[in-house]
Each structure stands twice: as C-alpha cells, then as structure tokens.
Structure 1
Amino acid sequence: MLSSRGSGWCENHACTILLMERLLSDYFAPAEAILVEKARGARVDAQYYVSREIPDLFCEELIRAAPRFLVKCTGIVDGMSEKAIGALRGRLTEALREEG
C-alpha cells in the first residue's frame, strides 16, 4: 500500500491519508483526505522550505477545519463497535497482503 507512494513518503500524515482513502472511506469524504494532504504539504513547506509562503486563506481554513476534524475523529473512534474494528483490521491485513 505504501510502496506505491515512493520512498520517504511513509510518515504519520501520509499513512493517515492512505488509511482515510483506502480503509476509512465510509467515515471520511474524499475532500477531507485532500485537506489533510494539503495540510501535510503546508507543514513540509513550513518546516523545510522557509522561503515558501503558506497563503493566509489556507491557514484560516485549517484553523477552522482542525477542531471539527478532531471532534469527528474522536466520534468515529468512540462510536466503533468491536465488530467494526475487527472488520477494519481484516481489511488492513488484506490490503497489506495484496501489497506483499
């Protein structure tokens, strides 16, 4: 699953995005995964490329979206049954086996 993204891409944010897209698509809209990807890119730019500027409008969007996203994630985790967790584990195991 991760090998298709190229070397060096497997970090926490990248893994989160892949999980959102491939295993948690019943819980997250594609636009949410895109926003997390854009936030990851902004974080990389701010950390490694000091001369790159992150637009104020995007920063404001992230400031508004982050608390809602956190509440949504917490609600998803708190609302998952053991059966749902087992199903996700099975899907993850299968995806990893396919990448094998």
Structure 2
Amino acid sequence: MTVKERLQELREQIANTPGKNDKKGLFIELLAYNNYAVANGDDRDITSIKELDSYWKKPITKHGVFDKMYDDLTDEHIINHANDPKGFKSALEKAQD
C-alpha cells in the first residue's frame, strides 16, 4: 500500500467513524502520513516508513496544542481537514510556535 492509498483509506475511515473522539487517532495518523508525503512523496510503500510514531506523529501532538485545536473542531471540520489538511497543519504550526 502506498502513502497516497493509506491517506485515502484514512479519509474514508474518518468520514465513516461516528464519534469525534474515535476519529482523533485516525486524524493524527492522517496528518502524520500527509507530512511524510509532503517531505518524501506519496508514492512510497508505507511499510518502508519506520518512524511514523516517533518522527512524524510526535511533532503534531507536542505541547498539547493539537488537543486544544481538535476539541474546537466539529465532525464536519474534521472531515474537511482530512480532505485538505494544509490549512489545519498551518494553523497548528503557528499555534505551536
């Protein structure tokens, strides 16, 4: 499975998951894969990504800013950001600085 395919799978899972709290882990994973794709391309096999948790997810959740921003999102916002994570990523980076 490629990063692009995994991103699409995560988008579908987020859209089909009923509870906001249940979407949180999926959304973090999607943001991590998206950050990886921006840096390395989305055609890579996901099995070759060794540092997803430590290198790609950790910066997303540092300082607790993600949790505060996520709490303010509606389910519709989460789905919209999953389909186009650039805006959320930018706002998160600004808030963490």
Per the normalisation by structure 2, the TM-score is: 0.32
More helix by share: 2
Per the normalisation by structure 1, the TM-score is: 0.31
Q: Which one has a bigger Cα radius of gyration?
A: 1
